[in-house]
Amino acid sequence: MRIYLDNAATTWPKPESVYQAVDRAQREWGVAAGRGASQEALSIQRMLLELRQLIAQLINGHSPAGVTFHAHGTAALNTAIHGLIRQGQHVICTAAEHNSVLRPLETLAADNMIEWTILPSDQTGRVDPIALRKAWRTNTSLFVCNHASNVTGVVQDVAALGAIVRERNGLFLLDAAQTLGHLPIDVAAMQCDLLAGPGHKGLLGPLGTGVLYLSERAMPVVRSTIQGGTGSKSESLQQPWELPDRLEPGNLNVPGLAGLHAGVDWIMQHTIPQLQQHQQALNSAWQELWQQAELAEHLRSWGADSNGVGVVSLLSNEYDSHELATILDQLPVRVQGRAGLHCAPLMHQALGTAQQGGTFRLSWGPLTQRQDLELAIAQLASLFR
Ligand SMILES: Cc1ncc(COP(=O)(O)O)c(C=O)c1O
């Protein structure tokens, strides 16, 4: 038996409709998007437009024209960061960031393109908006921040952060990798100018999908970072400026995006408030089961907070986190989580878990049930008897 609790890496299982949509796109459509006028090609164009509309609706985006598709959350973040930043600018991010933000910024800094400041986070991953106000410089152009930590599940006060960025006339890029599909997101209310996220986590699409949303403020300033065929304006050697073509050269992952469409449909049917309620119910179930099993004497734990996303990080005195992951995956009831730094090295410095090589993380998704957590806690408890 397999208890999959690594939904912060990618959600699994997906709703049945997602598998069917991928299969249909491969088996029945077959053709590429924007590269022909066959009936199948037109069905794909309609599906893509609908998907842009659904995603814009989900986050209260101003228009489907601001929704672009990418290979993963990392590609969406890199498209935004490299597309926005100009020589001599200053960028601010937080210690809670994933390497898909930290590494592009470090690369730009190493090339003497930018200077950057990393705001500290507290021991749960939360960043104080006052620190952002203090770090802002006259040449600061961009603030990048994740909505929820992939290590502790803590949710940032993005509305307060967004208000500061807008007051200073900068741009705010939100990494919604751990919240898209899980929590209500209103980019207008959060004053968020760009939002990046994977399609394969909370949105329930297949691996190989990601989304970048650009507001009206961001649309005129993000340049293309890769150039190539778009199936449009082919007589010109210049990358078309129109969106989405500006940021979507090369053939799109049509089967993946068809699956993402089915995933987003599923999310819309189940509604974000209901999915959030399900996640909060699982967080309280985890806390209750944790207390009952008296695991606190053996494991330190972060996350599964009542207002956080469904992520918990554990640290044992007796087992290294990789050892814990391997042992749990080999029990008759296999519990699957993820050990290590979770691509968020500075977050582990803030938690004090970097020296130990990180934590063992368990994370739940829309299709996880209370019984999965009961079985996971029972297996964990069996290691300390
Ligand atoms: C907070 C955060 N940002 C960005 C990413 C990168 O997303 P992807 O794996 O789709 O590249 C992840 C993935 O784990 C993440 O947790």
C-beta of residue 310 within 8 angstroms of C-beta of residue 279: yes
Residue 72 beta carbon below 6 angstroms from any ligand 1 atom: yes
How remote is the CA of residue 198 from the centroid of ligand 1, in Å? 7
Q: How far is residue 379's CA from residue 5's CA, in Å, rounded to a whole number?
A: 13
How remote is the CA of residue 40 from the centroid of ligand 1, in Å? 32
Chain segment 151-205, per-residue pLDDT in tens: 999 999 999 999 999 999 999 999 999 999 999 999 999 999 999 999 999 999 9
pLDDT for position 36: 87
pLDDT surpassing 90 at residue 308: yes
To test the ligand 1 pocket, which listed residue (101, 203, 343) has its Cβ within 8 A of the most ligand atoms?
A: 343
Would you call 69 helix, strand, or coil by DSSP?
strand
Q: Which two tokens stand for residue 358?
A: 């990180």
- Write down the pTM of the prediction: 0.98
Confidence band, pLDDT 50/70/90 cuts, at residue 229? very high
Q: How far is residue 9's CA from residue 178's CA, in Å, rounded to a whole number?
A: 9
Q: Whose CA is closest to atom 16 on ligand 1?
A: 150
Q: How far is residue 174's CA from residue 145's CA, in Å, rounded to a whole number?
A: 5
pLDDT for position 257: 98
pLDDT for position 124: 86
Q: Whose CA is closest to atom 15 on ligand 1?
A: 177
How remote is the CA of residue 100 from the centroid of ligand 1, in Å? 7
Would you call 114 helix, strand, or coil by DSSP?
strand
Q: Whose CA is closest to atom 8 on ligand 1?
A: 73
